[in-house]
């Protein structure tokens, strides 16, 4: 039976990540980085596109699985007629090379276990040459080389273009597999001890998780979300990818399949706020520093997303040999939205840097000069239409959220100068800009008849991003226009109590056929907005339902289908987990938040 998105768990080493299914198969892994070509792509195809399964012989899905508390170490157990066996999966934080460690342990009885490894480089398109060397199975193709060993050694053989092993473990016995990638032109990296790697990984993760300052309701879900954000961080640069995957569908069988293995500026303020409020200043500073490096240059060339090290060229390409998850094609790598104009990102950057400064993060000498340059560009360009927050492909419009974020940029610039008068800047000019944008949005982006802001100037459509209006300070939460907007958005975009981004039935807006599920980040925004407008009971009930959508190991994708009861979109999704953390902090501030 084909796996569902929520059947997967995540392991990673803060430079890349793997998805492990309930059947014990690693079906997705890109090496050596999040955005590298995959060596396992069964997630988007079948077994011949690469996977690595370890499970009892003849067994199907596991009996139970769970992360060890406050870690990214995964334990999966099967109960069989012959006994119980556990597989522990992890990716230790790397020294030089990425390693996948899989430790098979007999819990009771005597169980025969089967390992099947099919390596397929470059997203399932390249079959490597496999040979034996120094106790390893070595797979090489072009630039990629993977070494596999077991401790203690077990018999392996080649069959059906895969590497197989079969062995028996009794109670207390362990067999550890280590799979290591390195560039094929370099010598094999030093071997790691898999059992020491397990102990140090558990210790390191728990030490990190202890920094969390939140001690309110659903603390386990909050910590799990923070661990997931940490796992989606590219440690060398501090960049946080939107998800570990590409092309998981927003609608099964549909075309809304995008590559999310990059870093979006739109996530910056909410992510920074979550990290700072929860007590993770080092990660917040690293994310701020990535942001500064990524946006450096001509403000007119500011992109909405970048690679994990700040790369700008993310050309979108289709992979026709992969049929896609649940037959959802095309499968894409790269993301064409990188070339879009989204004026809201200027507000996100200004807001993030303002938050960083006010939160006491060490400032950078060039930070304010860069902010002034962004404002100079925005003063000249803010009236333009753009593609908006959701990267629509149906043409540019004057989206209300984009204009609100222009207001945010001007507002944060003004506030910075008012608080730090020693800095240079056009205080009066930015005040005028702030006032002008505010007047225009309230005049052209507001439907007086229905008492709600709209998706774009002159439209009747609504958009979940309008829920951010009180949060960013554009209007106070008790303003009747805010209350009216929250009610209108809730009524128009609700899907079984959760929230869609906008009405995808109007294909003119996003230029794509088909629909999508309820967007989880927007549903968290709705809970925030309900709380801010005085309906805390409704907000907490919605939050309870949202936390209940987490899979059995606490992970969320981008969207949820209330009809079929399944998760949709790329997985796990940073934006969803940021939403969970921030909403917990907002709703339960008096119960131990921050």
Phi-psi group of 142: left, alpha or beta (phi > 0 → left; psi -120 to 50 → alpha; rest → beta):
left
Q: How confident is the model at residue 594 (pLDDT cuts 50, 70, 90)?
A: very low
How far apart CA 474 and CA 376 sit, in angstroms, is 21
What Cα–Cα distance (Å) separates residue 593 from each residue in 216, 297, 585? 6, 38, 5
pLDDT tens digits along 388-427: 999 888 889 999 999 999 999 999 999 999 999 999 999 9
**Alpha helices (runs of H) in 499-548, residue ranges in sequence order:** 507-510, 520-532, 536-547
pLDDT at 116 over 80: yes
Residue identified by tokens 């037959």 is 327
Same domain, 160 and 291: no
Q: Which residues pair with 180 in a beta bridge?
A: 99, 147
Burial category of 360 from C-beta neighbours within 10 Å (exposed 0-12, middle 13-18, buried 19 and up): exposed
Same domain, 248 and 312: yes
pLDDT tens digits along 358-397: 999 998 889 999 999 999 999 999 999 999 999 888 889 9
Same domain, 158 and 299: no
Identify the CATH number of the domain in which residue 12 sits. Answer: 2.70.98.40
Domain-ending residue, one of 175, 190, 208: 208
pLDDT tens digits along 431-449: 999 999 999 999 999 999 9
Same domain, 419 and 559: yes
Residue 467 near residue 529, CB atoms below 8 Å: yes
Same domain, 453 and 494: yes
pLDDT on residue 391: 86
Which one, of 286, 208, 237, 303, lies nearest residue 35 by Cα? 237
Same domain, 401 and 487: yes
Domain-ending residue, one of 147, 176, 208: 208
pLDDT tens digits along 152-211: 999 999 999 999 999 999 999 999 999 999 999 998 888 999 999 999 999 999 999 999
pLDDT on residue 133: 87
pLDDT tens digits along 261-288: 999 998 888 999 999 999 999 999 999 9
pLDDT tens digits along 212-252: 999 999 999 999 999 999 999 999 999 999 999 999 999 99
Residue 150 near residue 173, CB atoms below 8 Å: no
Average pLDDT over residues 98-105: 98
Mean residue pLDDT of the chain comes to: 95
Give the tokens for residue 460.
């009747």
Chain-centre distance for alpha carbon 103:
27
pLDDT on residue 509: 79
How far apart CA 594 and CA 117 sit, in angstroms, is 45
Count of CB atoms situated within 10 Å of the CB of 312? 12
Same domain, 319 and 445: yes
How far apart CA 2 and CA 312 sit, in angstroms, is 36
**Percentage of residues in the chain with pLDDT exceeding 70?**
98
How far apart CA 373 and CA 300 sit, in angstroms, is 10
Number of domains making up the chain: 2
Greatest pairwise CA separation for the chain in angstroms? 78
Same domain, 304 and 439: yes
pLDDT at 1 over 70: no
CB environment 524-561: b (16+ within 10 A), e (fewer):
bbbbbbbbbbebeebbbebbeebbebbbebbbbbbbbb
Same domain, 449 and 560: yes
pLDDT at 575 over 60: yes
pLDDT tens digits along 499-554: 999 988 765 677 788 889 999 999 999 999 999 999 999 999 999 999 999 999 99
Same domain, 275 and 321: yes
Identify the CATH number of the domain in which residue 563 sits. Answer: 1.50.10.10
Same domain, 134 and 255: no
Same domain, 215 and 203: no
Domain hosting 222: range is 211-590
Q: The pTM is what?
A: 0.96
Domain-ending residue, one of 208, 243, 274: 208
Q: Look at 132-141, 143-152, 341-350 and tell me which has the smallest mean pLDDT.
A: 132-141
């Amino acid at each position: 039976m084909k796996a569902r998105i929520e059947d997967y768990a995540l392991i990673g080493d803060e430079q890349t990540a793997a998805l492990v299914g309930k059947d014990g198969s690693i079906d997705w892994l890109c090496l050596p980085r999040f955005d590298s070509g995959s060596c396992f792509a069964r997630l988007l195809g079948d077994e011949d596109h690469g996977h690595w399964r370890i499970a009892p012989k003849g067994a199907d899905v596991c009996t139970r699985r769970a992360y060890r508390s406050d870690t990214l170490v995964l334990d999966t157990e099967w109960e069989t007629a012959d006994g119980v066996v556990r597989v522990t999966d992890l990716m230790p934080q790397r020294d030089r090379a990425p390693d996948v460690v899989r430790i098979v342990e007999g819990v009771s009885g005597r169980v025969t276990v089967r390992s099947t490894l099919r390596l397929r480089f470059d997203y399932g398109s390249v079959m490597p040459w496999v040979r034996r060397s120094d106790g390893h199975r070595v797979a090489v193709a072009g630039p990629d080389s993977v070494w596999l060993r077991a401790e203690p050694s077990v018999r392996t053989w080649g069959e059906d273009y895969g590497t197989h092993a079969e062995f028996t473990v009794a109670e207390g016995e362990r067999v550890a597999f280590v799979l290591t990638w390195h560039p094929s032109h370099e010598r094999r990296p030093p071997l790691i001890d898999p059992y020491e790697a397990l102990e140090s990984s558990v210790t390191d993760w728990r030490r990190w998780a202890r920094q969390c300052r939140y001690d309110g309701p659903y603390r386990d879900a909050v910590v799990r979300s923070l661990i997931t954000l940490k796992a989606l961080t590219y440690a060398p640069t501090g960049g946080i990818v939107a998800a570990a995957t590409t092309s998981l569908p927003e609608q099964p069988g549909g075309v809304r399949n995008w590559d999310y293995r990059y870093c979006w500026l739109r996530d910056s303020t909410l992510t920074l706020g979550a990290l700072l409020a929860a007590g993770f200043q080092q990660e917040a500073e690293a994310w701020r520093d990535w942001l500064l490096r990524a946006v450096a240059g001509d403000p007119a060339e500011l992109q909405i997303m970048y690679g994990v090290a700040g790369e700008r060229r993310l050309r979108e390409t289709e992979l026709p040999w992969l049929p896609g998850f649940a037959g959802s094609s095309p499968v894409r790598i790269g993301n064409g939205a990188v070339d879009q104009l989204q004026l809201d990102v200027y507000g996100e950057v200004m807001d993030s840097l303002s938050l960083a400064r006010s939160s006491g993060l060490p400032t950078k000498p060039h930070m304010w000069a860069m902010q002034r340059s962004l404002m100079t560009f925005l003063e000249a360009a803010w009236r333009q239409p753009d593609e908006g927050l959701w990267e629509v492909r149906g043409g540019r419009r004057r989206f209300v959220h984009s204009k609100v974020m222009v207001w945010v940029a001007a507002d944060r610039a003004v506030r910075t100068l008012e608080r730090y008068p020693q800095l240079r800047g056009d205080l009066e000019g930015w005040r005028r800009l702030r006032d002008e944008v505010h007047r225009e949005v309230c005049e052209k982006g507001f439907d007086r008849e229905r008492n709600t802001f709209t998706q774009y100037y002159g439209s009747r459509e609504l958009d979940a991003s309008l829920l951010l209006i009180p949060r960013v300070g554009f209007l106070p939460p008790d303003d009747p226009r805010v209350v009216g907007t929250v009610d209108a958005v809730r009524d128009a975009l609700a899907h079984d109590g959760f929230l869609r981004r906008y009405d995808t039935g109007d294909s003119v807006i996003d230029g794509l056929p088909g629909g999508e599920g309820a967007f989880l980040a927007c549903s968290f925004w709705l809970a925030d907005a309900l709380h801010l407008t005085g309906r805390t009971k409704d907000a907490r009930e919605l939050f309870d339902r949202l936390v209940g959508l987490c899979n059995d190991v606490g992970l969320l994708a981008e969207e949820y289908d209330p009809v079929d009861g399944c998760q949709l979109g790329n997985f796990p999704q940073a934006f969803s987990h940021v939403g969970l953390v921030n909403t917990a902090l907002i709703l339960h501030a008096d119960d131990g938040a921050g």
